Structures are given as structure tokens and as C-alpha cells.
Amino acid sequence: MFSRVRICLARLSTGVNSVASVRVTPQLCRHQHRTFSSESAAVKVLYDGLCPICVTEIRFLQFLQRNQPGKVDFVDISRPGYDGGKFKDISYEMAMEEMHVIDEKDEVHRGIPAFAVMYGAVGLGWLGRFMTWSPVRPFMDQSYAIFARNRLKWTGRTEVCTTGRCEKK
């Protein structure tokens, strides 16, 4: 809508009637900031790459953000090279306990708020807002706590996974 207004204003000021002859460059508003380093602006999602449930969700989110590369960085904590020092000192053990997401402001979110940040970054902000909505939030917290506590068992892995690198049986 605003680009149409700029085109109309450009026509009035130049007396040109052809839209094709008017070149309007997008302008940034005061509240928008252009970042040239996608690494500093990316949301970092720490996930267990050996968890089939987690991987299914991450693949879906990667699909959703396919047209915006660099917006979300999905970090597989199960890889041997994972270094928590690079990710706000979130150790492997901490990341295995519950979902962790580091937002654009370098703030760490855990549990349901982490999902809200992650979903917002891929265009599902409505789902994140629903999950954190006060009437729904207690149910979401309880449900996620049950999932987080049992996901290793449900995915065929033992409790040993929480203290070291784990493998699927």
C-alpha cells in the first residue's frame, strides 16, 4: 500500500503517468534495522538431531523458512562438534532437558517460550502466541514437561542420553 502511495506521489511531482517509468526504492522505517550479517540476526534453535519427533518438527520449520535463509539457524546438539560455549553456555545436558532457543537479541528462551520464539521466526507467530496465551499456557507447560521427561523413552533411547552423547538402540 505504501509503495503505491510513493508511486502516486512520484507521479505528481514529476508529471509522469507511467508506472514503469517510476523507480521507487524500498525505504526503511525508524523501527526497522537492516543487518548485513545473518549470523548475528539469526534465531538459533538447539535441537536433538537423534530424536525423530524433534527432527520431524525441525524439517517442517526448515521448509517454512526456506525462502528466508539465515533467519533461523537450526543447531543439532547431537553432533560431536557441538560446543555449548558458542551458544550462551548451554551445555549438551541442559539442551537435552528442554528446548532452548536464542533470539535475535541473544536472549535464551526455554520450554514453551522457546517454541513461541521459534514459531514466530518462521512465520507461525500466531501459534506461538496461542501457546503462551494465559488460558492455554498452563496446559502447554504441563504437556511439554511430560514430553520432555519421556521423549528419550518414547523414541527408543535410554536415560544415559542426558549425561553424554547417546545413540538410538
Contact 70, 38 (CB under 8 A): yes
Does this model's pTM top 0.85? My answer is no
Closest CA to 119 of 139, 135, 140, 138: 140
Domains and CATH numbers, the chain: 1-34 (no CATH), 38-162 (3.40.30)
Q: Report CA dihedral (59, 65, 66, 68) to the nearest 10 degrees.
A: -150
Per-residue pLDDT of the chain (169 residues; tens, 9 = 90+): 444 444 444 444 444 443 333 333 333 333 333 333 334 558 999 999 999 999 999 999 999 988 888 889 999 999 998 999 999 999 999 999 999 999 999 999 999 999 999 999 999 999 999 999 999 999 999 999 999 999 988 888 865 554 555 654 4
